[in-house]
Structure 1
Amino acid sequence: MRPKLMKEFEALREKNVMDIKKAKTEGKRVVGMYCLYSPAEIAVAAGAIPVTLCGTRQDPIPAAEKVLPRNLCPLIKSSYGFAATDTCPYFHFADLLIAETTCDGKKKMYELLAEFKPMQILQLPQKQDGVEAADYWYTEVKKLKNRLEAEFAVTITDHDLRDAISLLNDERRCLKELQDMCQLKPSPISGMDLLTVLFLRGFCSDKREAISMVDNLILELKDMVSHGLSPFTAKTPRILLAGVPVGLGSHKVVQIVEDCGGSVVGFESCGAYKAAFDQVDVVKEPLQAIAEKYLRTPCSCMSPNQGRFELVVRMVDEFKIDGIIDLTWQACHTYNVESFSLKKYIQEKKQTPFLQIETDYSESDVEQLKVRIEAFLEMIR
């Protein structure tokens, strides 16, 4: 049983490309973003369209490996490969890229990417707490505001920022509400369908239209629940996928879990719950409030990263999780090392079954992953 509105979300693959092309012909500015640390509010306040950039497919990686090391994170290689082959329409139409220093591999890749597009790199602090980190990050966010004003010949007022905060808070509200539907047992939507919605809506040019689509899907899911409809049963093992960002093209673990009889009811990653559970304060000075919200993002690039551990435990409780799969991309050292600490924390707090998987975007290990995931699900049952 699938929601009928999934056909509309699947149609976004083509519609999003046509919409961004149309927006460019109408003279609108486009800001490409790779990471959750990039404040979309500032791009919106500058009158630009913030859009997610491609980086979740295996196809462009061979082209990237002509320049980048083979033993590099697939997300980095895919992102660069899309740019080098000009096969990401959102990158193609972007007037400016916002990048961030979340890992050493990205930092050096961005040096090469700067040959293709103008870029503003946000220099992240190494920790989230303390006045020094907050002041430093606020300065970086202010630099971004100044760069967009200069690049697009606009003035970003506090009123512009507050309007943008309201819009993005509403987006986060609907995305959280959608994901919270999976707290129901059984979940009314599969993990693959949820991932499809979360991924494809990120490329929408019109955020209000995307918010409306998500709200309509929530209404349909509530109707399905009222009629007892679900692709799962109450006994289906409920899995939380934690760790690295996942999208269409890098979804093999999600697919395997559900093919093997599990239900992925939550994604902790920065493309999912991590992006939606926290809001920008609407009372404080707007630029300060934006800086504070984005610095709170619990990413493994921060040390320590207690916020992520607490978020995972919260999701285990609220989503009634039976098992955690912590996904790490090969050569993603921060998530890989942190997985040990996360497992220890989970064992101390919840005793929830925990499986770490390290892989890449290729299909070469699908059968091995299937064996491990089947065994994990059987242990849970």
Structure 2
Amino acid sequence: MTVTKPIEELYHQRGSRARALHDAGKKVIGYFCCFVPDEILTAFDLVPYRIQGSQSEPIDEADALLEPMACPFARSCFNLALKGRYDFLDGFVAPHSCDTIERMYHIWHSNKPSPFNHLINVPHMMGPSSDAFYRKELEYFIARLEEFTGRKLDLEKLRSAIRLYNRRRTLLRELYDLRRENPPRVSGTEITKVLVAGMGIPAAEHIELVSAFIDEVKKRPAPAPDGLPCIFLWGNEIDDIAFVSLVEECGAHVVMDDLCTGSRFFWQDVPETDDPVDALARRYLSTHCPRSLKPQAGNRSEDLENRFGYIREFISKWKADGAIFYIVRYCDTCELEGPDLREYLTGLKLPVLMIEDDYSTSTIGQLRTRIQAFLEMIM
């Protein structure tokens, strides 16, 4: 049996492994976004579970409690919770990553409370004072977990957890490096399945899967040149293969991304220092996310370079021929960041297609013509 089969099972049967661990006596903590340190949860012998929605299911209960113009990803997640799909969670943690998640935390807590509930206040402005504030937030988070678990945090276990997750980050970057070949041996669709599969299992198990998958990919024969364009994806939540598959079916290779469910959550390691809490605060707060703001630097072009220079490196190293922005409707942070990023990429002579769409597979087919036209333009 190849490693593809367990990856497929974990992708399609989301929550099955976490539910099994819960039934076996482990405590599972669900969380949103890239700002909740998995390392802290793991150091307490808790199982981190990144909450996902469902792009294939209608939102039929959450709209009674959430306004319909709120982020459809957040509404979908809450919809699944109201249906009992997250009843295996022993805890629920939300960061103030955006206003919708922050507001929804209180609504979720009121209607589907877990034994442990916590909101992490994440600063929006990046800088030394924000680092200090966020460290205090993590210290309070640790104190709440100590109260919940009945034991003090073991700093050696925290350092061990940092090493574990850094190992996973290294492997995921190695997997992404395999997409730099032209044509790549691994598709963006496969990458999405590998990433989603890891959101609901312990890091050690995901490391085994990713390592085995890398070995499998390396054994594949190098594909013949096909002349198809290479695409860079930017946006927020893509935890379903539908959109990535559509782009690739239209005649392109999705080779790199800057997504909440993609490179953002693993691209930077946590420094292994004598002060692990400080290292976690600095690493997580430096996550590249449209909701985070850097102090303005220089003139307009200098400021854009300061904000998006890392994306220029992605485009250069992965040799992207074009960029597609896939923005979930009502995501104000991406809607505001998108035009500036488009201006920056246009200055680099990179064609950009900007798409705003519902968090639903039912609308994917309507995008085919736009994507095909864009790909024809850049070929």
Task: Specify if TM > 0.5.
Answer: yes
> Contact 1:299/1:308 (CA < 8 Å) preserved in 2?
no
1:82 matched to 2:74: no
Match of 1:242 in 2: 234
> Distance in 2 between the 1:367 and 1:211 partners?
34
> Distance in 1 between the 2:307 and 2:212 partners?
30
1:208 matched to 2:207: no
CA RMSD of aligned residues (A): 1.9
1:217 matched to 2:213: yes
Bigger drift between 315-324 and 207-216 goes to 207-216
1:274 matched to 2:264: yes
Q: Note the C-alpha offset of 1:283.
A: 2.0
Match of 2:279 in 1: 289
1:172 matched to 2:169: yes
> Contact 2:40/2:142 (CA < 8 Å) preserved in 1?
yes
1:281-321: CA deviation from partner (whole Å, max 9, x where unpaired): 10240110011100000111112386761222111011110
> Contact 1:6/1:193 (CA < 8 Å) preserved in 2?
no
Q: Note the C-alpha offset of 1:234.
A: 4.3
1:54-94: CA deviation from partner (whole Å, max 9, x where unpaired): 2242415121112212222111111110111112xxx3221
Q: Note the C-alpha offset of 1:100.
A: 0.9
> Contact 1:56/1:246 (CA < 8 Å) preserved in 2?
no
Bigger drift between 212-221 and 296-305 goes to 296-305
> Contact 1:33/1:51 (CA < 8 Å) preserved in 2?
yes
1:236-275: CA deviation from partner (whole Å, max 9, x where unpaired): 1111111112012xx4321221111111112211211111
Match of 2:300 in 1: none
> Distance in 1 between the 2:307 and 2:234 partners?
10
> Distance in 2 between the 1:347 and 1:17 partners?
41
Match of 1:185 in 2: 182
The structure-2 alpha-carbon separation of the partners of 1:155 and 1:192, relative to structure 1 and needing over 3 Å to count, comes to same
The aligned amino acid for 1:103 is C
Q: Note the C-alpha offset of 1:229.
A: 3.7
SS state of the match for residue 182, structure 1? coil
1:352 is aligned, of 350, 353, 356, to 350
The aligned amino acid for 2:230 is R
> Distance in 1 between the 2:315 and 2:125 partners?
25
Stretches of structure 1 lacking an aligned partner (at least 5 in a row): none
> Distance in 2 between the 1:209 and 1:367 partners?
35
> Contact 1:76/1:105 (CA < 8 Å) preserved in 2?
yes
1:98-155: CA deviation from partner (whole Å, max 9, x where unpaired): 10111112211111101212321111112112x2111111001111111111111111
Bigger drift between 143-152 and 25-34 goes to 25-34
SS state of the match for residue 124, structure 2? coil
> Contact 1:325/1:356 (CA < 8 Å) preserved in 2?
yes
The structure-2 alpha-carbon separation of the partners of 1:368 and 1:28, relative to structure 1 and needing over 3 Å to count, comes to closer
The structure-2 alpha-carbon separation of the partners of 1:216 and 1:109, relative to structure 1 and needing over 3 Å to count, comes to same
Aligned length: 367
> Contact 1:175/1:276 (CA < 8 Å) preserved in 2?
yes
Match of 2:299 in 1: none
Match of 1:109 in 2: 104
Match of 1:65 in 2: 63
Match of 1:12 in 2: 10
- For residues 316-355 of structure 1, what are the structure 2 equivalents within 5 Å? 316-348=315-347, 350-355=348-353
1:39 is aligned, of 30, 37, 40, to 37
> Distance in 2 between the 1:373 and 1:218 partners?
30
Q: Note the C-alpha offset of 1:364.
A: 5.0
